[in-house]
A and B are shown apart, each in its own frame.
Chain A
Amino acid sequence: MHRNLTCPACGGTLDVTTGAARVAACPYCENVLIVNEAAIRALGKMALLAETPSCLAVGWPARCQGREIHVLGRIQFRYSAGIWDEWWIRFEDDGSYAWISQDEDEYTLEIPTVVQLQPERVAKLRPGDRVTVRRMALWVNEIDEAEVVGVQGELPVHATPHARMRYLDLTDNHHHVTIELFSDGTYQVFVGKHLPRGALVSDVAGADPNVQQHYPPPQQTRPDDPAGAVVRTSEGLHPQAIQCLSCGGSLELRDAQGTALVICGYCGAALDLSLPGKPQLLRMEKQKKRKFPIEIGAKFRHHATEYTVLGILRYKQRDEGVDYFWTAFQLHHPEKGYTFLELEGGHWLFFTPLRHPPLKDPRKLSRGNTLTMDGQSYRVFESGSCVIDYVEGELSWVARIGDRLNFMDAVRPPFLVSAEWSANEMEWSLGEYLSPAQIAHGLSIPVGKLPSPRGVAPAQPFVRNRHRTMAAIAGSVVGCLLFVLTLYAYSRSGVAVLADQTVTDTVYLSEQGYVSPPFQAPAGQHIYKLQAVSRSLDNQWVALSAAILDEQEKVVLDADATVEYYHGVEGGERWSEGSTRDYTLFRLPGPATYRINMFGEAGSWSSFGGDQTALSGPPVTVSLYRDVQPARYYLWGTVLALLFPAWEAARRILFHSRRWSDD
């Protein structure tokens, strides 16, 4: 239903294209007009609208998720941290209406929904609380009050300039629900869905759909301007340069559209720019300018995107009487929006807003708890509260010195999930640890100009060096192989040449000693193991000396074996020492015939008399094995090969323990 109306205040002509419109804004005199009643009347004059970068413009067609839309009107709200816009649209295919909410560069398609709410329950909700709306389990993201700044085009609601409302933003990562509570007790609920980049495309000829830009508003004609040359718009503009309300200094804004707070570089005064066209001097303690490794206006390049450093915030946390500080640099890119670089103890984190935060109440998490997000586990590192201690430059929200924030950080190096909440709002962001070299590269400065990192940061990854890793893997493989060979060698007893020859003390203590039967050594070098076992040792020792004799009864080799075993009770505890078994290894060439001549000495030990040689001793069982494989070389090799992998593992464990240490 197309209607041509005349503004009762200025006589200007305005078109109302839909019967659903209840109010329309006069593009000439900034009056909001009621248009659905018998007589057109003015609701009041609105303030200038802030010019927010958008891919939507009133009167212009566009496509939303592939469907043709026509932008009918716009309402702009101001809240404690800035402004946002609601665009009223009509889908051209079925004639249905919807809203597109725009907060900075985030767009949400919203459909009004009828939901029965209990206002007294809604009034008790706080950010982070869980609530179910239409079977959707949502958590409260934001609660705040907003004021209508002004309108443009036509709207289906009575949007009176300066009217106030309380709103709640709820989300479950897939849906976005907004509850608007009005002063008369009425409320409206919108169920929305986030529109990804590219889902909203402007039909303006030549426009790049991926770039937000300002399109001229549709030209309107006035009675006194039949040529239609008037391009006047109700949109206000932040000037690129503003005057400080305190010292009169000229301040150049780098992000004229998005800046809500600017600190005068001359006198340190804080100017609130969230109300379009009306800068306000904030009562904020003026501070001495501090020096930071990154200056305002510096360019930081990360992932092929060049950000501009707009503002600096310093936070202070007091813990057990000690103040801890960290600095956040607000970065801006016209397409990517706002991000942060955070500096603490020489360590850097690059933060981006988290669109799908974990569905867990961060207020109930404490150090060591697990937080799951996108199938990945994060471990809560810290939670607490801090205050803003210093502000400099431009910020996209009004941050005051002394503002208190609560936070919870959970880590999964090199990432850190952070939740920050105040009485009104809860925000999640994802940080990625960047090394000083990466930061220096992004800033195009030598790394020496950045502060040196101290200790291990919560999200600092253990940096693996490819070569060290390769060496550690090689060492582990060889070490494991040698260990298997050690076990194999231990398990092989060899061929029994002399089996279990029992030698009594009368024999091994005699002058002739024990002489074994002759044994044949096959051709070649063979390894032999001479083993002595005495199971009846009782605080005794037997030292055996073996001589290997050849066929000419010449001693070709000397070998020793000592068995000793002591035990007792000391301080109520049993102890034992030594072994009833000993062996010695040697090699013998063949073919040849050998014999063993073995002498021994025996002795005993007591706590009173100490070590004493005895004239008698326990019997000893002697065995000789051939083709034995000594395990000792494999074992030594295992230890040597595993030294470097063990060192690397120790480095890593030490690194993680330093991360989680209370210091």
Chain B
Amino acid sequence: MSKTPPVGKDGSAPPPRRSWPVYLYIAGLVVLLIGCIGLSVTGAALPGPDSDEKISLRDVQARRSHFFRYYAFGK
């Protein structure tokens, strides 16, 4: 295979290659993997019970009745 030229663009010694972006990228991948597993297992991003402002079944059914009257039956 073609050899990597042992010189920089102007013929001088090439600058040392930086590897930290690769390690940063790999670290990002690890975070992504752990994050995906965490979200899937815990469901932290899914909707859960809202402790505040709980409404009762009666309220819900009342709203429903209102909907029926004004929209479903055209009143």
> Is A569 in contact with chain B by the CB < 8 A criterion?
no
Chain B hits for A512, CB < 8 A: 61
Chain B hits for A518, CB < 8 A: none
Chain B hits for A513, CB < 8 A: 61, 64
* Complex partner residue of A553 from B10, B46, B50, B57, CB under 8 angstroms: B57
Query: Do residues A547 and B57 form an inter-chain contact, with CB atoms below 8 A?
Result: yes
* Complex partner residue of A547 from B37, B60, B68, CB under 8 angstroms: B60
How long is the Cα–Cα vector from A627 to B72 in the complex, in angstroms? 37
Residue-wise interface mask of A (517-541) relative to B, using a CB-CB cutoff of 8 A (1 in contact, 0 not): 0000000010100000000000000
Chain A hits for B49, CB < 8 A: 548, 550, 556-557, 588-589
How long is the Cα–Cα vector from A159 to B26 in the complex, in angstroms? 76
How long is the Cα–Cα vector from A522 to B9 in the complex, in angstroms? 67
> Is A601 in contact with chain B by the CB < 8 A criterion?
yes
* Listed stretches A12-20, A88-96, A444-452; interface member: A444-452
With contacts A485-B40, A613-B72, A633-B40 taken as known, whether A440 is within 8 angstroms of B11 at the C-beta atoms is yes
Q: How far is the CB of A320 from chain B (nearest CB, A)?
A: 31
Chain B hits for A435, CB < 8 A: 2, 5
Residue-wise interface mask of B (47-72) relative to A, using a CB-CB cutoff of 8 A (1 in contact, 0 not): 11110001111111100110010011
Query: Do residues B57 and A437 form an inter-chain contact, with CB atoms below 8 A?
Result: no
How long is the Cα–Cα vector from A591 to B18 in the complex, in angstroms? 53
In the complex, residue of chain A having the shortest beta-carbon distance to the beta carbon of B39: A633
Q: How far is the CB of A598 from chain B (nearest CB, A)?
A: 10
In the complex, residue of chain B having the shortest beta-carbon distance to the beta carbon of A527: B43
Chain B hits for A556, CB < 8 A: 49-50, 54
How long is the Cα–Cα vector from A491 to B72 in the complex, in angstroms? 39
The interface on chain B, measured as residues whose beta carbon lies within 8 A of the other chain's beta carbons, has a size of: 48
Q: How far is the CB of A540 from chain B (nearest CB, A)?
A: 16
Query: Do residues B11 and A587 form an inter-chain contact, with CB atoms below 8 A?
Result: no
Chain A hits for B65, CB < 8 A: 511
Residue-wise interface mask of A (486-528) relative to B, using a CB-CB cutoff of 8 A (1 in contact, 0 not): 0001000000000000000000010111000000000001010
Chain B hits for A471, CB < 8 A: 22, 25-26
* Complex partner residue of B43 from A433, A547, A585, A599, CB under 8 angstroms: A585
> Is A470 in contact with chain B by the CB < 8 A criterion?
yes
> Is A48 in contact with chain B by the CB < 8 A criterion?
no
Residue-wise interface mask of B (19-57) relative to A, using a CB-CB cutoff of 8 A (1 in contact, 0 not): 101100110011011011101111101111110001111
* Listed stretches A238-246, A259-267, A572-580, A637-645; interface member: A637-645
With contacts A441-B5, A444-B11 taken as known, whether A630 is within 8 angstroms of B46 at the C-beta atoms is yes
Chain A hits for B41, CB < 8 A: 629
Query: Do residues A641 and B32 form an inter-chain contact, with CB atoms below 8 A?
Result: yes
Chain A hits for B60, CB < 8 A: 547, 555, 597
In the complex, residue of chain A having the shortest beta-carbon distance to the beta carbon of B36: A637
Chain B hits for A555, CB < 8 A: 54-57, 59-60
Chain B hits for A77, CB < 8 A: none
How long is the Cα–Cα vector from A550 to B51 in the complex, in angstroms? 11
* Listed stretches A222-230, A398-406, A418-426, A473-481; interface member: A473-481
How long is the Cα–Cα vector from A374 to B21 in the complex, in angstroms? 40
> Is B17 in contact with chain A by the CB < 8 A criterion?
yes
Q: How far is the CB of B33 from chain A (nearest CB, A)?
A: 5
Chain B hits for A489, CB < 8 A: 40
Query: Do residues A549 and B72 form an inter-chain contact, with CB atoms below 8 A?
Result: no
How long is the Cα–Cα vector from A516 to B51 in the complex, in angstroms? 22
Query: Do residues A640 and B32 form an inter-chain contact, with CB atoms below 8 A?
Result: yes
Query: Sorted from nearest, which 3 A-B pairs have the closest CB atoms?
Result: A437-B5, A637-B36, A556-B49
What are 22 A-B pairs with beta-carbon distances under 8 A? A435-B2, A437-B7, A467-B18, A474-B25, A474-B29, A475-B25, A475-B29, A482-B32, A482-B33, A511-B65, A525-B43, A553-B57, A559-B47, A585-B43, A586-B47, A587-B47, A587-B48, A613-B72, A629-B40, A630-B43, A633-B45, A634-B36
B residues within 8 Å of A by Cβ? Answer: 1-3, 5-11, 17-19, 21-22, 25-26, 29-30, 32-33, 35-37, 39-43, 45-50, 54-61, 64-65, 68, 71-72
Question: A437-B8, A467-B21 are known contacts; what are 13 more A-B pairs with Cβ within 8 Å?
Answer: A440-B11, A446-B10, A447-B11, A461-B1, A478-B33, A482-B33, A512-B61, A547-B60, A548-B49, A555-B55, A557-B50, A586-B47, A633-B45
